[in-house]
């Protein structure tokens, strides 16, 4: 009877720990007139904010406002989100997927429970760290299973991606998915490949040859790494690109001579022991993810934050109260400058120059090599690329400029489209002017100058943000 009573106690305690450890997610479509409110309440751990934001951005949701509070051992985030069209969430599959978060937590081991005294139980009750939102894997995680992943960094130049894809095609590699960013004269790319026969690339000599040829193409201070992707989760591709750019020090350049359109300030709140970081810039998709990703990888913890991207002037205002992972604030002017540089770089990496081109075609061996070679032969430079294949169809997104970073000539663009197929290559976004950082301001009204002429010539005017900058599935 006593044994049964103790077993019953453990069972009830296990249920209590499960409820406390599991993130509680509440989705409210009625509290805010213009957005769906998602509230996440759970125990706190380093990186949990990034995991929450990553899930929302992977679902192509736009975060209009957010309030983050993380006191003691607990945290609560409130996100005001919309879909790609600026509407509340109505897709039941998306809502159900977000709510799955509360079904994942650290499993309680009843066998070990018999070896732990009740005092330890109470300590665990208040100080358990959960498996939080990160246990909900991106729905596309297993797509990479068995493929060879290539990480490439090097000095950017016109035609570089064309040469990379030509090497892979020559080595009998089929690119299943790839993302490439350029910023401040540097390039970083994540490329997932398999053999043209559809089988994993396992021959060590072939892998060595691929790496050698790619190093020769990238030249100089390049870095080429390859690994076989496991059946478990791999690093989030865009987070890995941030890490690669950060490790390559793309943020390290003369800010005195380069005026950025991104405003970042860092001040210490002495009374509370926080460093307060303010970021102000033009709003765009995945902005919060890029900033939080960088703060997390720099080993800062966000304790409080207020995010507002729903202003009438299309500007985003982000404020973070942060500390080092050891609990101390930023303690030197040099460190403040480094934080400012890194956050400016994080915002600018995704803000690619140039026209957004979308290519949807039947996948075949060497398709990417042919497409990017056509760009290069016509004097077009790819500043960002996103490549994916699904069930034999290739969907590729390219941001292109001319060789000096200016808008491409409309006559050249028409020639490229005719060569590649007017129905397959579509112009989806046209920049109508430069901002101060060298990027483009997007608008849908009548423009002037060469960009306006391009708009009329190509006839591809679309509303701003009609498509997100992420891959469309």
**Predicted confidence (pLDDT) per residue in 123-148, tens digit:** 333 223 222 333 333 334 346 777 89
Predicted local distance difference test score (pLDDT) of residue 15:
52
Diameter of the chain measured on Cα atoms? 88
pLDDT at 5: 57
Closest CA to 225 of 208, 245, 238, 206: 208
Q: What is the pLDDT of residue 406?
A: 87
DSSP assignment of 366-388 equals: THHHHHHHHHHHTTEEEEEEEEE
Identify the pLDDT of residue 455.
Answer: 32
List pLDDT tens digits, range 84-115: 888 999 888 888 888 775 434 333 343 333 33
231: phi then psi, degrees, rounded to nearest 5: -80, -15
Handedness of CA 239, 309, 428, 380 (dihedral sign): negative
CA distances from 21 to 77, 103, 239, 301, 403 (A): 16, 10, 26, 20, 54
* 251 vs 257: CA distance, rounded Å: 14
Higher pLDDT, 377 or 20: 377
Quote the pLDDT of residue 9. 56
Angle 466-191-232 from CA coordinates, rounded to 5°: 95
Summarize pLDDT for 15-68 with one digit per residue, the tens. 554 445 556 888 999 888 889 999 988 777 778 899 889 989 999 999 999 999
Q: How far is CA 176 from CA 64, 179, 218, 424, in A?
A: 33, 11, 21, 19
Whether residue 44 contacts residue 134, with contact meaning beta carbons closer than 8 Å, is answered with no
3-state secondary structure of 75: strand
Burial of 362 (0-12, 13-18, 19+ CB in 10 A): exposed
The rounded distance, in Å, linking the Cα atoms of 91 and 97 is: 10
Rounded Cα–Cα distance for residues 160 and 102 (Å): 45
Query: With 60 as the cut, is the pLDDT of residue 449 above it?
Result: no
Look at residue 154 and tell me whether its pLDDT is greater than 60.
yes
What is the C-alpha separation between 228 and 193, in angstroms, rounded? 10
pLDDT at 432: 42
| Token pair belonging to 63 | 């975060």
Side-chain-side CA neighbours of residue 114 (13 Å):
8
Q: Does pLDDT of 473 surpass 80?
A: no
The segment with the largest mean pLDDT, out of 33-37, 226-230, 258-262, is 33-37
**What domains are there in the chain, each with its CATH number?**
2-135 (3.30.70.260), 143-234+246-250 (3.30.70.260), 263-349 (3.30.70.260), 352-473 (3.30.70.260)
Q: What is the model's pLDDT at position 24?
A: 80
Average per-residue pLDDT for the chain: 78
Mean pLDDT to the nearest integer, 396-421: 89
- The answer to whether residues 133 and 101 touch, using CB atoms and an 8 Å cutoff, is yes
142 in Cβ contact with 165 (< 8 Å): no
**Predicted pLDDT at 220:** 79
323-371 pLDDT tens trace: 999 999 999 999 999 999 999 999 999 876 678 999 999 999 899 999 9
pLDDT at site 367: 93
Compute CA distances 107 → 103, 128, 135, 268, whole Å: 11, 11, 12, 40
Helix (H) or strand (E) holding 306: strand 300-308
Q: For residue 441, what pLDDT is reported?
A: 39
3-state secondary structure of 282: strand
pLDDT at 199: 82
């Amino acid at each position: 009877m006593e044994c049964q009573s103790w077993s019953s106690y453990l069972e009830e305690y296990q249920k209590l720990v499960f409820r406390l450890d599991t993130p509680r997610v509440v989705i409210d479509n009625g509290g805010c007139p213009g957005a769906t409110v998602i509230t996440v309440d759970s125990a706190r751990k380093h990186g949990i904010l990034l995991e929450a934001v990553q899930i929302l951005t992977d679902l192509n949701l736009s975060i209009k406002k957010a309030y983050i509070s993380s006191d003691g051992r607990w945290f609560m985030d409130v996100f005001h989100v919309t879909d790609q069209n600026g509407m509340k969430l109505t897709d039941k599959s998306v809502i159900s997927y977000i709510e799955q978060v509360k079904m994942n937590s650290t499993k309680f081991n009843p066998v070990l429970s018999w070896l732990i005294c009740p005092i330890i139980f109470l300590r665990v009750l208040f100080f358990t760290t959960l498996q939080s939102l990160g246990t909900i894997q991106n729905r596309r995680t297993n797509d990479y299973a068995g493929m060879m992943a290539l990480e490439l960094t090097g000095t950017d130049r016109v035609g570089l991606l064309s040469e990379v894809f030509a090497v892979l095609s020559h080595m009998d590699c089929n690119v299943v998915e790839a993302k490439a960013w350029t910023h401040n004269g540097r390039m970083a790319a994540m490329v997932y490949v398999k053999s043209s026969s559809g089988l994993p690339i396992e021959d060590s000599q072939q892998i060595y040859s691929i790496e050698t040829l790619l190093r020769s193409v990238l030249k100089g201070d390049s870095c080429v790494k390859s690994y076989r992707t496991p059946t478990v989760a791999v690093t989030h591709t865009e987070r890995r690109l941030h890490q690669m750019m950060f490790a390559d020090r793309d943020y390290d350049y003369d800010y005195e001579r380069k005026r950025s359109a991104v405003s970042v300030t860092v001040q210490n709140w002495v009374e509370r022991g926080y460093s307060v970081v303010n970021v102000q810039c033009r709003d765009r998709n995945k902005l919060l993810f890029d900033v939080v990703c960088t703060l997390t990888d720099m080993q800062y913890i966000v304790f409080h934050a207020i995010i507002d991207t729903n202003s009438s002037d299309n500007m985003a205002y982000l404020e973070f109260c942060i500390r080092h992972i050891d609990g101390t604030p930023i303690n030197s002017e040099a460190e403040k400058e480094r934080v400012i540089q890194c956050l400016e770089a994080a915002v600018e990496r995704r803000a690619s120059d140039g026209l957004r081109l979308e290519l949807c075609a039947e996948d075949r061996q060497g398709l990417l090599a042919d497409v990017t070679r056509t760009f290069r032969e016509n004097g077009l430079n790819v500043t960002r690329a996103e490549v994916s294949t699904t069930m034999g169809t290739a969907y590729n997104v390219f941001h292109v400029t001319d060789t000096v970073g200016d808008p491409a000539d409309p006559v050249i663009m028409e020639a490229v489209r005719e060569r590649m197929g007017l129905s397959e290559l579509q112009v989806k976004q046209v920049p109508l002017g430069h901002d101060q950082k060298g990027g483009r301001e997007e608008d849908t009204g009548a423009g002037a100058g060469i960009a306006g002429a391009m708009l009329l010539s190509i006839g591809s005017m679309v509303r701003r943000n009609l498509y997100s900058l992420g891959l469309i599935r």
